[in-house]
């Protein structure tokens, strides 16, 4: 299903925001992961954990001022962080596409949908005129937009949120990207529409062998769609594993806490929820210890004496000094 | 169910918003039928969950129950009193019994009011005497906030803490019924569970009755005794939670439930999904007949497009389980099957690949 050479190889990525007079915020702090063709990799975590900043850094979409980016983002061997702007723009248009939570932000509000989709087709597939228009209608139909010929003439505000998201995915399909980065692509949508979009993403990966990076806070989506999962907390990856291993045996107390917090549709009524105490804003700075320590029920003294290292074993990476054991996982 | 056990009863409720056009002389050119004929009973001490897609009319129904929006037709009876007939002092006294918790706690709190003032305001408004500071400390304690929170302002709290303040405000007047509109959907996963647990604990302690509006079926599954499913202004199915989740009878309920992802790869890989086509039609121009027929994968050539089904019981299911579908029996028996194009088989790639 997947070849062994990574298409995207993110190494030790860090992003620091500095504001005049304000504190320095290290939003992403030494994040590494790889994505192979045909593979779906997911970044999960709560708000503020650094998922979006990671994806923007990979795409080179962060503002230049007040932002320092460190590490490497290797795409097919080229470091996107040091590539000249025009080469980066080429790759971004041709090989990498991105879908955001708010599709409105990526669509031009004053240009009809049809023109926006045909533009992409003209640029990437060298189709023109009537041919491009027919191909655009085809694409809209493929992503499940009813009455595509009429929709092509409409402006983004005339479409519902779900339809706008599908139009955006249609444009992503038009580029035939090798890598698609989707940041909370269904968070603003209803579950019935979400299910349609998830199916589309699955098809894209299966039919074209594209690699997919999916950013979400929804563990249910991860469970059904991803091959590899990276759990982020406060700017760092705290646990990575294949989705089956991760869900069957969460080792990091934060991963276990997340799984214990989500109600399940198939759980018996009254099955207790086990929330994580405190809030994601109660964090320790990583240089002083484990950021999760203020909320962690497994905390030991060493946790607040220095940053726990990310250790890899048996296909899993874990950043924790006192991980969950088999018996604790059950209660988590 | 005897009338005594029903705290709130809604009959034939309609809320239509006029659509106007014209600049100088406004003309009404149509109406948005946000709520269009709803019957609902909320048993005393129970939690009723109201689910459905965005725009289907859940919030409007909740607001009409509290008379925050005037119904176009129908009645809302609270504890034996028709709310529509109340005015002035009587209405104000009744309002104490009915409170609301909102989705976005920040938007519902005044940023320049500290928590002490937020929580004592309902006490002042209803002319309740006594030691307000002591009552505020007690309220904060009940929702799990420190007494020191009283002197702080909304922006100094996290989302979950702000929702606790919203809940404290709602219970300040010791109401009987709380309408909670998406109380946890703006919160992070780990915080959602805290607030869900708090709502349940308060119900046990204070004997509250809840109407919980949520688009997240798993949250509703967890919290509700009775679940009502809404589609385009009307209820399509209503049942005790266990019955609804074990045997959903309405095609829309089936599709909705099959669309909810479950955080368990084993389950996800072996599930069959029913995918709906397209979006919710406009409530300004709802389809004739069964409102769901334009998207229903079980649609039949007769009745569906021209006869609006009413909620009814189905043999073999409890009296309290009602469904608005002409073909519920045939669908349950498997004699009517969904359109093959709408059915998504279990994920073939993952299911056949144990190493994945
Ligand atoms: N004041 C109003 N004027 C006109 N139309 C309205 C008004 N309030 C609501 N509507 C419309 O009524 C319908 C139902 O709205 P409502 O807010 O109840 O939906 P909902 O189920 O709560 O959706 P969401 O989950 O998005 O909040 C929608 O089509 C909405 O646009
Ligand atoms: N432009 C910015 N300036 C300063 N801080 C920022 C900026 N963008 C994001 N951050 C901070 O970076 C952290 C991670 O943000 P983000 O990646 O958006 O989180 P999420 O996981 O919700 O996508 C947060 O603490 C956020 O406040
Ligand atoms: S390192 Fe310590 S504080 Fe951090 S998650 Fe592990 S046990 Fe908890
Ligand atoms: S009445 Fe017809 S269209 Fe409506 S839900 Fe039943 S089968 Fe579907
Ligand atoms: Mg984000
Ligand atoms: Mg609403």
Quote the strand ranges of chain A, DSSP E.
8-17, 25-35, 40-44, 67-75, 78-79, 96-99, 179-183, 211-216, 228-233, 236-242, 311-313, 316-318
| Ligand 2 atom at minimum distance from A15 CA | 12
pLDDT at residue A330 in the model:
43
The C-alpha of A1 sits at a distance from chain B's nearest C-alpha, in angstroms, of 9
Instruction: Give the C-alpha separation, A75 to B197, whole Å.
Output: 45
pLDDT at B355 over 60: no
Both A226 and A262 in a single domain? yes
Looking at the structure, tell me whether residues A196 and A326 fall in a common domain.
Answer: yes
Q: Do B222 and A263 touch (CB under 8 A)?
A: yes
Does residue A6 sit in the same domain as residue A134? no
Give a yes or no: residue B149 inside a domain: yes
B254 shares its domain with B326: yes
Q: Please check whether residue B203 lies inside any domain of the structure.
A: yes
Higher pLDDT, B5 or A175: B5
Strands A316-318 and A179-183: unpaired
Mean pLDDT value of segment A166-177: 85
At A249-261, the pLDDT tens digits run 999 999 999 999 9
Q: Would the pLDDT of B356 be above 60?
A: no
Whether A188 and A170 share a structural domain: no
CATH at residue B103: 3.40.50.300
Ligand nearest to the CA of B292: 4
* Segment holding A258, helix H or strand E: helix A253-261
Distance, in Å, from the CA atom of A239 to the CA atom of A221, rounded to the nearest integer, reads 18
Confidence of residue B29 (pLDDT cuts 50, 70, 90): confident
Crossing angle (nearest 10°) for helices B159-171 and B115-125? 20
* Exposure class string for A41-74: b at 16+ Cβ within 10 A, else e: bbbbbbebbbbbbbbbbbbbebeeeeeebebebb
pLDDT band with cut points at 50, 70 and 90 for residue A150: confident
SS3 assignment for A13-49: EEEEECCCCCCCEEEEEEEEEEECCCCEEEEECCCCC
Which residues share a beta bridge with A124?
Answer: none
CB contact under 8 A, A199 and B262: no
Residues 6+ apart with CB under 8 A from A167: A103, A107, A113, A116, A117, A140, A143, A145, A151, A156, A159
Mind telling me how many Å the CA of B77 is from chain A's nearest CA?
A: 29
**Nearest CB to B194 within list A191, A266, A275:** A275
B299 shares its domain with B224: no
B201 and B158 in one domain? yes
What residues make up the domain containing B320? 247-351
> Which ranges of A209-248 would DSSP assign to H, the alpha helix?
219-225, 243-248
Q: Using the 3D structure, point to which of A174, A192, A213 is the last residue of a domain.
A: A174
- Write the DSSP symbol of residue A78: E
Do both B101 and B161 map to the same domain?
A: yes
From CA B195, how far away is CA B187, in angstroms rounded?
9
B276 neighbors B236 (Cβ within 8 angstroms): no
Pocket of ligand 3 (CB under 6 A): A 253, 290, 292-293, 296, 298-299, 303, 308, 320-322
Residues B231 and B333 in one domain: no
CA A61 to chain centre: 15
Backbone angles phi, psi at B99, to 5 degrees: -125, 165
Task: Find all residues with CB under 8 Å of B281, minimum gap 6, and list them.
Answer: B232, B287, B291, B294
Confidence of residue A332 (pLDDT cuts 50, 70, 90): very low
Q: Is residue A19 part of a domain?
A: yes
Does residue B50 sit in the same domain as residue B191?
A: yes
Q: How many A-B residue pairs are in contact by the CB < 8 A criterion?
A: 154
Check pocket membership of A51 for ligand 2, CB cut-off 6 A.
yes
Residues A225 and A287 in one domain: yes
Average pLDDT of chain B to the nearest whole number: 90
Can you tell me the distance from the alpha carbon of B76 to that of B97, in angstroms, rounded to the nearest whole number? 14
| Total domain count, chain B | 2
Note whether B175 and B113 are same-domain residues.
yes
Task: Choose one of A174, A192, A208: the last residue of a domain.
Answer: A174
- Locate the ligand 1 atom nearest the alpha carbon of residue B62 and give its number: 18
Do A157 and A183 share a domain, yes or no?
A: no
Q: Do B197 and A160 touch (CB under 8 A)?
A: no
Going by C-alpha positions, the residue among A223, A184, A181 that lies closest to residue A56 is: A181
**How far apart are the C-alpha atoms of A11 and B30, rounded to whole Å?**
58
Is the pLDDT assigned to residue A289 strictly greater than 60?
A: yes
* A100 in any annotated domain: no
**What CATH code is carried by the domain that includes residue A292?**
3.40.50.300
Residues A7 and A121 placed together within one structural domain of the fold: no
Question: Among B195, B222, B240, which residue terminates a domain?
Answer: B240
Residue nearest to atom 1 of ligand 4 (CA): B325
d(CA B249, CA A15): 51
- A49 belongs to a structural domain: yes
Token readout for B316 is 């073999």
- Indicate whether B173 pLDDT > 80: yes
Measure in Å the smallest separation between the Cα of A198 and chain B Cα atoms: 10
Cross-chain residue pair A275–B190, CB shorter than 8 Å: yes
Distance between CA atoms of residues B254 and B297, nearest Å: 10
Q: Has residue B34 got a pLDDT over 90?
A: yes
Q: Identify the residue among B49, B186, B193 best suited for mutation to test binding to A, counting A beta carbons within 10 A and taking the highest.
A: B193
| CA-based nearest distance B86→chain A, Å | 37
Q: Among the residues of A126-160, which ranges form H helices?
A: 129-142, 148-151
Residue of B nearest to A159 (CA): B279
Residue A168 lies in a domain: yes
pLDDT at A2: 46
- Residues A87 and A199 placed together within one structural domain of the fold: yes
- Residue A233 and residue A268 in one domain: yes
Question: CA–CA separation, A191 vs B220, rounded Å?
Answer: 14
Kindly list the residues from chain B whose CB atom is less than 8 angstroms away from the CB atom of residue A291.
Answer: none
**Structural domains counted in chain A:** 2
Axis crossing angle, helix A253-261 with helix B189-206, rounded to the nearest 10: 50
Q: List pocket residues of ligand 1, CB cut-off 6 Å.
A: B 17, 32, 34, 52, 54-60, 215, 283
Domain co-membership, B341 together with B252: yes
Q: Report CB contact under 8 Å: A263, B221.
A: yes
- What is the tens place of the pLDDT at every residue in B36-88? 999 999 999 999 999 998 889 999 999 999 989 999 999 999 999 998 888 88
Secondary structure of chain B in the HEC alphabet?
Answer: CCHHHEEEEEEEEEEEEEEEECCCCCEEEEEEEEEEEEEEEEECCCEEEEECCCCCCHHHHHHHHCCCCCCCEEEEEECCEEHHHCCHHHHHHHHCCEEEECCCCCCCCCCCCCHHHHHHHHHHHCCCCCCHHHHHHHHHHHCCCCHHHHHCCHHHCCHHHHHHHHHHHHHCCCCCEEEEECCCCCCCHHHHHHHHHHHHHHHHHHCCEEEEECCCHHHHHHHCCEEEEEECCEEEEEEEHHHHHHCCCCHHHHHHHHHCCCCCHHHHHHCCEECCCCCCCCCCCCCCCCCCCCCCCCCCCCCCCCCCCCCEECCCCCCCCEECCCCHHHHHHCCCCCCHHHEECCCHHHHCCCCC
User: In this structure, what DSSP letter does residue A270 have?
Assistant: T
If you ran DSSP here, which 8-state letter would residue A176 be given? -
More confident residue, A126 or B224: B224
The ipTM, to two decimals, is 0.85
Same structural domain, A195 and A82: yes
A330 with A218, same domain? Answer: yes
Q: Are residues B231 and B253 in the same domain?
A: no
Please identify, among B240, B263, B281, the residue that sits at the C-terminal boundary of a domain. Answer: B240
> A142 contacts in B (CB within 8 Å)?
none
For residue A242, give the 3-state DSSP assignment: strand
Residue A15 has pLDDT above 80, yes or no: yes
Give the whole-number percent of chain B exceeding pLDDT 70. Answer: 95
Q: At what angle do helices B159-171 and B189-206 cross, to 10 degrees?
A: 20
Same domain, B220 and B259: no
Among A174, A204, A221, identify where a domain stops: A174
Cβ of A17 closer than 6 Å to ligand 2, yes or no, is: yes
Given a cut of 50, is residue B351 above it in pLDDT?
no
Angle at A147 between CA A146 and CA A152, to 5 degrees: 110
Residues B275 and B309 in one domain: yes
* CA A120 – CA A132 distance, rounded (Å): 9
Nearest-atom number in ligand 4 for the CA of B309 is 1
Residue-level pLDDT at B4: 65
Q: Are residues A190 and A248 in the same domain?
A: yes
Tell me which residue range forms the domain holding A280.
Answer: 1-95+176-332
What number does the ligand 4 atom closest to the CA of B298 have? Answer: 7
**Residue B266 backbone class (left: φ over 0; alpha: ψ -120 to 50; beta: rest):** alpha
For chain A, what is the mean pLDDT? 90
Nearest CA in chain B to A258: B190
Give a yes or no: residue A160 inside a domain. Answer: yes
Write the residue with the smallest CA distance to atom 4 of ligand 2: A17
Question: Are B267 and B226 within one domain?
Answer: no
Q: Given B190, B264, B275, which is nearest A276 (Cβ)?
A: B190
pLDDT of residue A3: 53
Residues of chain A with pLDDT > 70: what percent? 97
- Write out chain A residues lying below 8 Å of B255, CB-based: 192
Tokens in use for B79? 């504890």
pLDDT score for B354: 42
B185: in domain:
yes
- Report whether A117 contacts A200 (CB < 8 A): no
Inter-axis angle of helices B115-125 and B132-142, nearest 10 = 120
- Largest pairwise CA distance in chain A: 69
- The order of strands in the sheet holding A8-17 is A25-35, A8-17, A67-75, A78-79
Q: Each residue of B273-327: pLDDT tens digit? A: 998 887 788 888 999 999 999 999 999 999 999 999 999 999 999 999 999 999 9
Cβ of B338 closer than 6 Å to ligand 4, yes or no, is: no
């Amino acid at each position: 299903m997947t070849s062994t050479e990574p298409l995207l190889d993110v190494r030790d990525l860090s992003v620091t925001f500095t504001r005049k007079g304000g504190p320095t915020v290290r939003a992403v702090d030494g994040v590494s992961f790889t994505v192979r063709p045909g593979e779906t990799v997911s970044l999960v975590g709560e708000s503020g954990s650094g998922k979006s900043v990671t994806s923007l850094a990979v795409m080179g979409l962060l503002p230049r001022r007040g932002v320092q980016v460190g590490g490497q983002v290797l795409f097919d061997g080229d470091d996107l962080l040091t590539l000249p702007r025009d080469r980066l723009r080429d790759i971004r248009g041709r090989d990498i596409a991105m879908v955001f939570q708010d599709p409105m932000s990526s669509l031009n509000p004053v240009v009809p949908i049809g023109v926006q989709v045909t533009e992409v087709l003209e640029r990437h597939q060298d189709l023109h005129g009537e041919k491009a228009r027919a191909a655009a209608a085809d694409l809209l139909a493929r992503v499940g937009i009813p009455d595509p010929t009429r929709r092509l003439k409409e402006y983004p505000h005339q479409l519902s949120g779900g339809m706008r998201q599908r139009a955006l995915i249609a444009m992503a399909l038009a580029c035939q990207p090798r890598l698609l980065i989707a940041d909370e692509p269904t968070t603003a949508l209803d579950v019935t529409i979400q299910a349609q979009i998830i199916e589309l993403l699955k098809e894209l990966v299966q039919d074209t062998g594209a690699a997919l990076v999916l950013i979400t806070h929804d563990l249910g989506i991860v469970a059904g769609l991803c091959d590899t999962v990276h759990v982020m907390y406060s700017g760092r990856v705290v646990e990575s594993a294949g989705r089956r291993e991760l869900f069957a045996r969460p080792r990091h107390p934060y991963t276990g806490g997340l799984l214990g917090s989500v109600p399940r549709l198939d759980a018996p009524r009254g099955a207790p929820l086990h929330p994580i105490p405190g809030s994601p804003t109660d964090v320790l700075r990583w240089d002083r210890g484990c950021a999760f320590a203020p909320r962690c029920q497994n905390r030991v003294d060493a946790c607040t004496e220095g940053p726990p290292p990310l250790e890899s074993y048996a296909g899993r990476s874990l950043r924790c000094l006192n991980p969950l054991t088999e018996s604790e996982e059950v209660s988590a | 169910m005897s009338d005594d056990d029903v705290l709130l009863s809604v009959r034939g409720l309609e809320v239509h918003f006029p659509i106007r056009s014209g600049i100088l002389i406004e003309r009404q050119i149509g109406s948005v039928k946000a709520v269009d004929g709803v019957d609902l009973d909320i048993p005393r001490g129970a939690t009723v969950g109201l689910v459905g897609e965005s725009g289907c009319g859940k919030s409007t129904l909740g607001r009409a129950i509290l008379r925050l929006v005037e119904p176009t037709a129908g009645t809302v009876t609270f504890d034996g009193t028709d709310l529509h007939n109340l005015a002035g002092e009587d209405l104000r006294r009744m309002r104490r019994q009915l409170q609301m918790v909102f989705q976005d706690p920040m938007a519902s709190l005044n940023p320049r009011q500290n928590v002490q003032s937020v929580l004592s305001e309902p006490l002042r408004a209803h002319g309740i005497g006594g030691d307000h500071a002591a009552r505020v400390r007690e309220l904060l304690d009940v929702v799990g906030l420190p007494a020191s929170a009283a002197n702080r302002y909304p922006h100094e709290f996290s989302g979950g803490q702000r929702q606790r303040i919203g809940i404290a405000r709602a219970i300040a007047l010791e109401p009987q019924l709380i309408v909670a509109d998406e109380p946890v959907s703006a919160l992070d996963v780990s915080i959602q569970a805290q607030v869900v647990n708090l709502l349940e604990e308060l119900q046990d302690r204070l004997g509250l009755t809840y109407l919980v509006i949520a688009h997240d079926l798993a949250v509703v599954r967890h919290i509700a005794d009775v679940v009502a499913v809404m589609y385009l202004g009307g209820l399509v199915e209503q049942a005790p939670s266990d019955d609804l989740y074990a045997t959903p009878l309405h095609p829309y309920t089936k599709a909705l439930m099959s669309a909810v992802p479950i955080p368990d790869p084993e389950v996800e890989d072996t599930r069959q999904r029913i995918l709906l086509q397209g979006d919710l039609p406009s409530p300004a121009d709802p389809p004739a007949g069964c409102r769901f027929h334009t998207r229903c994968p079980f649609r039949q050539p007769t009745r569906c497009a021209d006869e609006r089904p009413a909620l009814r019981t189905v043999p073999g299911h409890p009296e309290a389980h009602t469904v608005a579908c002409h073909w519920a029996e045939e669908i349950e028996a498997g004699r009517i099957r969904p359109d093959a194009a709408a059915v998504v088989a279990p994920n073939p790639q993952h299911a056949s690949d144990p190493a994945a």
